[in-house]
């Protein structure tokens, strides 16, 4: 996929530097480059991505539109374990204690949902409510908690219909992500 001396990459400017891209520089350039190469080689009619990585799905959708790929991008719902943890191949790296603690990602999103349903809209207060739950889990370290516009990934000051609440955290040494869209689930 990467011939010797390869110097060409695909990058969705700005969006790839936010959220996960802020702590993983160059990650999305790699993702969009390899996906563009695969699209070029396979020429699919439809490409399916999971909503768990909402940022990746948005970037690929934008890349496909900007580069005139004649592909319909479909985003599938997050599949969860019985306790709410988003399914991920990374979950198998977790020890039993870490696996239990990892549910804080989902629990924090449900705390945000509860706060919003009770009328709270201030993004800072919602983040603080989520952070309180994380503080109870010593093996978990927050990477980010953000309330963003789902189309631009720009931070918002107030939650409204469609706002994406995205969270990333290290559970032990394993980095996990999750999200919830206000009034969408």
Burial 142-169 (b: 16+ CB within 10 A, else e): bbebbbbebeebeebeebeeebbbbbbb
From start to end of 82-128, where are the E strands? none
Answer for the pair 86, 176: CB distance below 8 angstroms, yes or no: yes
CA gap 140, 173 in Å, rounded: 9
Residue 106 has pLDDT above 70, yes or no: yes
Please tell me the distance from the alpha carbon of residue 14 to that of residue 153, in angstroms, as a whole number. Answer: 9
What single-letter DSSP state applies at residue 73? E
Mean pLDDT of 162-178: 97
Task: Give the domain ranges of the chain.
Answer: 15-76, 89-181
pLDDT band at 185 (very low <50, low <70, confident <90, very high): very low
99-102, long-range: CB < 8 A, 24+ apart: 101/137, 101/138, 101/139, 101/140, 101/171, 102/140, 102/171, 102/176
CA–chain centroid gap for 44, Å, is 24
- pTM, rounded to two decimals: 0.91
pLDDT in tens, 107-159: 999 999 999 999 999 999 999 999 999 999 999 999 999 999 998 999 999 99
* CATH of the domain spanning 89-181: 3.30.1300.10
pLDDT tens, residue by residue, 88-98: 999 999 999 99
Residues 6+ apart with CB under 8 A from 135: none
């Amino acid at each position: 996929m990467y011939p010797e001396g390869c110097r060409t990459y695909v990058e969705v400017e700005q969006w790839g530097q936010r959220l996960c891209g802020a702590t993983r520089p160059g990650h999305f350039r790699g993702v969009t480059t390899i996906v563009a190469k695969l699209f070029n080689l396979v020429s699919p009619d439809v490409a399916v991505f999971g909503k768990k990585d909402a940022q990746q799905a948005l970037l690929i959708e934008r890349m496909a539109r900007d580069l005139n790929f004649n592909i319909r991008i479909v985003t599938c719902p997050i599949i969860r374990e019985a306790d709410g943890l988003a399914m991920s191949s990374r979950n198998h790296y977790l020890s039993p204690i870490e696996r239990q603690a990892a549910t804080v990602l989902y629990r924090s999103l449900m705390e945000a949902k509860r706060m919003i349903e009770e009328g709270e809209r201030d993004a800072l207060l919602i983040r603080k409510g989520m952070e309180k739950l994380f503080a109870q889990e010593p093996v978990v370290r927050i990477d980010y908690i953000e309330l963003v516009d789902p189309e631009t990934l720009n931070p918002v000051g107030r939650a409204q219909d469609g706002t994406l609440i995205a969270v990333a955290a290290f559970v032990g040494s394993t980095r996990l992500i999750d999200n919830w869209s206000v009034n969408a689930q």
